[in-house]
Structure formats: structure tokens, C-alpha cells
Amino acid sequence: MTLSSRFDLPGQVWCVATQHPSGPLYATTYGAHPLETVVSSVDLSGRVLWEKAYPGTGRPRSRLSPSGTLWLARPTDGGGRALEGVLPDGSVDRTVTLPCRAGEEVAAFVVLGDGFCVSWAGAARMLLAPGGQPARVPRVARYGRDGQCLWSTPIDLGPVSHPGMLEMNEETGWEVRTAAPRPPEWVEAARGEPLLVSGDRVAAGFADGRSGIGRTFFLNLVSGALISVTEPAPLRRSAIAGPGAFLVGALGYGACTTRRFGRDGTESARWDCHGAMTVDGRGAVRGPAFSVAPSCASRFRRLTTSNGLVDGPHLAGRHTSHPAVDADGTTVFWHGGRLLAVDSGMALHELFVSDDDRTVLGRTLLLDGGRVVQSVGSEILVLRTDLAALADGPWPCGDANLLGNPVLE
């Protein structure tokens, strides 16, 4: 296993995607300051093919479509929001202006075959005009290719709390008690993957911006009707588990769970662990995860159909990229400054060791010829391995891996 190339980008990497396993790569990063977004096209040798800078929202957001158009969320000159499509040669395909309310911003979006699905939340204060206020009611909306709004569903997060949240104040008589449910001061998109589409279902996560306690809202993609909503929890990683099905993870305040929800929006399985799960073509779920065991150790684990866990090798450290799985059932991911692989027999292999202790990690991409692409901070590493081709499966293989567009249509 060798390091094939290593190259710097203008700022912290938020997304790396490619339409084809042979490249090129499209990277979305910060620019010279937090309110600038830069999109770069680079080949696997690290040569920059083109680079474009845009006004940003303080959190770069992009998705790659199956046709090869990179869609970027950006502010418009008039203070609105737009999705701009950039073609493989760097030219602009088209710009879709999205009607929005005062104080809103695109919190997350995905590209559909016939348009877009967008989560809206309150804009960051640095984007607001003097005296302006961020929107208090988030929503999820679906748009056609031309930006026509097909439906818009308001989201009511409601007062939130969690059994693990404690408070001590005058109201409690200065005793430590479970925090009472309170309306959030502001609402933002949940961490991890806040917007997923699978079949005719949408999973949209929103959270209290202060505590991180949130809910996942399951919607009908066709009508926008609310199907169900989860109870408040510290939302973290979510995933597509199959047609109309999702995994929703919670970690923090004493919670450490992964739950599976079906097309009807009800919970069908629950595991006492949380991590970067993958779902292969047979529906098998596995990945690096924490458990609720007393040691709370990180291990590679397989989740069984009976809500049980099969423990694999221990993993030192906490920071893990989202893995990829090859056709032989080997899972590859970056963890603790190392590129690791766990084969189908749960044996651990160390493919590359680095003294880099940076913890801002992107997804792990598996390309042609066993090449692995990993972003670390503002760098992208391309490593050569003997791994097989990318496997088929709902997550994170298929469109959600190479394209970085979490949609299973």
C-alpha cells in the first residue's frame, strides 16, 4: 500500500465526490474566509483542472448528480438562495433560484432525478442584514428542476430535552436534575446526514442549536405529508438502510443507539451502539462503532437481525471517517491517523500509517484499481491498495458514496 498523491486545497474540505471511479474529483471547501466557498476539480495525480470561488453561507454545501453536474448552494446578490449547477469543464449549467423567507438558508439539500429536496433553517447571524432575525420555523421542501416549489412542510421541533441532560439553577433549587423540556432558541440541521431520500420517503433531521437534541421527521416525498417523528435525542449519524428505510443514530448525554425505521415510519430494530455504519446489498449492517458497554470502547461491529452485536477488533481513538465497502466485503476507513481495513472475517489490516492527528475527516471513497481517497483537514490523500471494486448496496456504496448525494431512488 502506497501513498499515490497528496495535495492541499484552499481550505477545510467539506465534500469530495466523483462521477466515475477513475475521477476526476470535485472538492468543496472553505476559501480565504468562512463566507467564501471554493469548488475545485482535480485529477487523481493532484493536478488542479479548474477552481471557482463563490459567496458562501459559512458552511459549504454541494451534491454531485448522476449526470456529472455539481450542485452548489449559495447566496444570491439579492440576499436570496440558489442552487448553481457546475458542469465537468467548470462552466455553469444553470442556476436555480429558490424562493425563500426572510432569515432562511439552505440547511441541507439532495439532488433528485427530477429536481431537489431542501431542508431550510434559520440563517447564520453573520448573513443577516442589520436588525434581521433568523427564521424560527424550519421546513422541508421539494422543487422541480426549474425551482418550482411542489410542496413545503413546516417542521415543529417542539420543546426538547433528554434524560441525560442535567441542569442546576434557581428553578431546581440549585439541585442537579434532569433538564426540563424547553423550546429551542434556534433550530439547525442535525449533525451527520441531516437529509436522506430513499424511495418515496424523506428522513430530515433537525436539532436545537444549543444542545444538539433533535428529532428526525419522516415525510412522504410525493406529497410532503408528515408520516412520523422520533422522540428527542442527541442525533448523530444517519444512513439509508434500504428502500424507504433508514438508520438513525444517537450519541451523547448517555445515549448510544442505532435504530432502524421502515417505510411506515415506525421503529423496527434497535442496537445499543452508534457509529459509521454501512449497509451492503444484502442488508447487512456493520462499521466502526461505540457501544454502551462500561468501557464504551470503539470496535468494529456487525449488527444482527435480532438486535444483537457481533464484536470485531478494537479501535483506538474516536475519530473515524465514513467507510466504503469493496466487492469482497472488506470495509475500509480512516481512523486515528491510519487507513484501516476489516475483512469479511472481521480481521483488521493496517494499510497506511500517518503521524497526522487532524480530526476533520471526510468520507472514504473507493475508486478504480483499489485507489482510496481520503480528505483530512484541507488535504486530500490518494492511496493505492489491493482492495476490490466498490460494492453495491444502499449505504454508503452506490450513489451515496461516489456522488456524495444520499438518495436511493
- Are 64 and 82 in contact by the 8 Å Cβ rule? The answer is no
pLDDT value for 338: 93
Which tens digit of pLDDT belongs to each residue from 42-97? 999 989 999 999 998 888 999 999 999 999 999 998 888 999 999 999 999 999 99
Rounded Cα–Cα distance for residues 165 and 110 (Å): 32
pLDDT tens-place string over residues 29-50: 999 888 999 999 999 998 999 9
Of the candidates 105, 107, 108, the residue with the CA atom closest to the CA atom of residue 125: 105
Average pLDDT over residues 235-253: 95
- The mean pLDDT value of the chain amounts to 91
Which pLDDT does position 20 carry in this prediction? 93
What distance lies between CA 228 and its chain's CA centroid?
Answer: 21
Greatest Cα pair distance in the chain: 64
163/180 Cα distance (integer angstroms) = 9
More confident residue, 292 or 192: 192
| pLDDT tier, 236 (very low <50, low <70, confident <90, very high otherwise) | very high
Distance CA 12, CA 281 (A): 33
% of residues, the chain, pLDDT over 70: 96
Q: How confident is the model at residue 316 (pLDDT cuts 50, 70, 90)?
A: confident
- Cβ burial of 331 (10 Å; 0-12, 13-18, 19+) is buried
| pLDDT in the model for residue 286 | 96
Phi, psi of 400 (to 5 degrees): -70, -15
Compute the distance between CA of residue 109 and CA of residue 116 in angstroms, rounded to an integer.
7
Nearest alpha carbon to residue 162 among 236, 219, 262: 236
Phi then psi dihedrals of residue 98, to 5 deg: -105, 120
pLDDT single digits (tens) 178-225: 777 889 988 999 988 999 999 999 999 999 998 999 999 999 999 999
What is the separation of C-alpha 209 from the centre of its chain, rounded to a whole number of angstroms? 17
Is pTM beyond 0.85? Reply is yes
C-alpha cell at 311: 464484536
